[in-house]
Structure 1
Amino acid sequence: MSIETTVHLNFRDNAREALEFYRSVFGGHVVAFTYAQAQDVEHPADAERVSWGEVRTEAGFHVMAYDVRENQTYDAGDRPFFVSVRGNDVEELTGYWKGLSEGATVLADLGPAGWAPLYGMLRDRFGVTWTLDLAA
C-alpha cells in the first residue's frame, strides 16, 4: 500500500476562503464539502461550514482544510493543524490506528464516515492530532 501524509489546516468560518487563496497561489483545484452536504450537521451554524476540503496540484502541492464545529473550541494557536494519513488498505490503516491509539485520546472512532469508507481522528500522547482515512 502507498500512503500519503498531508497537512490539514483548521479554521473557523474561513476554510473555503483559505483554500481558494492557496489555489490562487499554487494553482490546482479546490474540492470542498459542507457539513450539510456530508449530512453531518450537529449545530445549525455548521451547515455551510467546510467539513472537508483540499487543494491539490499536478505538481504535488496538497493541503487540506476544514472549519471547526460550533461546539468545539477554536483558537488559531491552539488547534491550527493536524496530520492526515490516507491510504487504500484497511489492514494497514487499522495497524497505524492501533499504534497511534496507544495513550491517545480518540476524537472520532475509526469507522465509516459520510466522505470515506473508513475514518478516525485521535490526539496522540504527544498532543498531535491525526486523521486516518481510506481513500474513496
Structure 2
Amino acid sequence: MGTILNPYISFRDTARAALEFYQSVFGGELDLRPFADFDFAKTGNPDDDNKVMHGHLRAPNGMNLMAADTPASMEWKGGTAISVTLSGDDKEEITGYWEKLSDGAKIGEQLAEAPWRDWFGMLTDKFGVDWMVNIAGPDTARK
C-alpha cells in the first residue's frame, strides 16, 4: 500500500452521529471503537467511555474519513482552520454528495459554476465541519 492522506476530525460528543451521517452520504463500511473497548483508553467517566475513541469510514470508492470524540478531561479545539475537500470530474456523483452534506448545513457558497469554469461550493455541515466541493469543468477535467 502506498501513502494515504486521511482527514481525521475531532469532535466533543458527536463523532458517532457525524460518522453515521457521513456513511449515509458516502456509503461504505463504518468501524466505531468506543473508549470502553480498550483498557488503556478507559477514562473513568462512564459518559466518555461510551464515546468514540476511533472511528473509520471506508467508502466504496476508496475515500476514507476518520473521527473521534475528545473526552471531557481533555481540551477540545473545534474550529474552522481546515476544510475537507471533495474534488473530481464526476458531476453527478459529487453533486449527490453535496446534496446529502447540505442537509442541516449552513451554505457558504452554493454549488454553481465558478469563474474558472469548474463547479464550486462551500458549506459547514450540521456537525460544524467545513467542506469545499469542486467539480472539474470541461477545460480542467483531469483524465
Q: Give the TM-score category using the shorter length.
A: 0.5 to 0.7
1:5 Cα deviation from its structure 2 partner:
1.7
State the AA in 2 paired with 1:66: A
Residue 33 of structure 2 corresponds to which residue in structure 1? 33
Give SS of 1:60's match: coil
Structure 1 length normalisation: TM-score? 0.54
Residue 42 of structure 1 corresponds to which residue in structure 2? 43
From 41, 50, 59, the equivalent of 2:61 is 59
State the AA in 2 paired with 1:35: F
Q: Distance in 1 between matches of 2:5 and 2:15?
A: 19
Structure 2 length normalisation: TM-score? 0.51
1:43 Cα deviation from its structure 2 partner:
3.4
Q: Deviations over 1:80-118 (max 9, x none)?
A: 79xxxxxxxxxxxxxxxxxxxxxxxxxxxxxxxxxxxxx
Structure (1 or 2) with the greater strand fraction: 1
For 1:6-21, list aligned pairs within 5 A.
6-21=6-21
Give 1 or 2 for the bigger CA radius of gyration.
Answer: 2
Note the aligned Cα RMSD (angstroms): 2.2
Tell me if structure 2 keeps the 8 A contact 1:27–1:57: yes
1:79 Cα deviation from its structure 2 partner:
8.3
For 1:1-136, list aligned pairs within 5 A.
2-39=2-39, 40-44=41-45, 45-77=47-79
User: Aligned residues: percent identity?
Assistant: 32
Q: Deviations over 1:31-85 (max 9, x none)?
A: 000000122112313210100001111201110000002211123118879xxxx
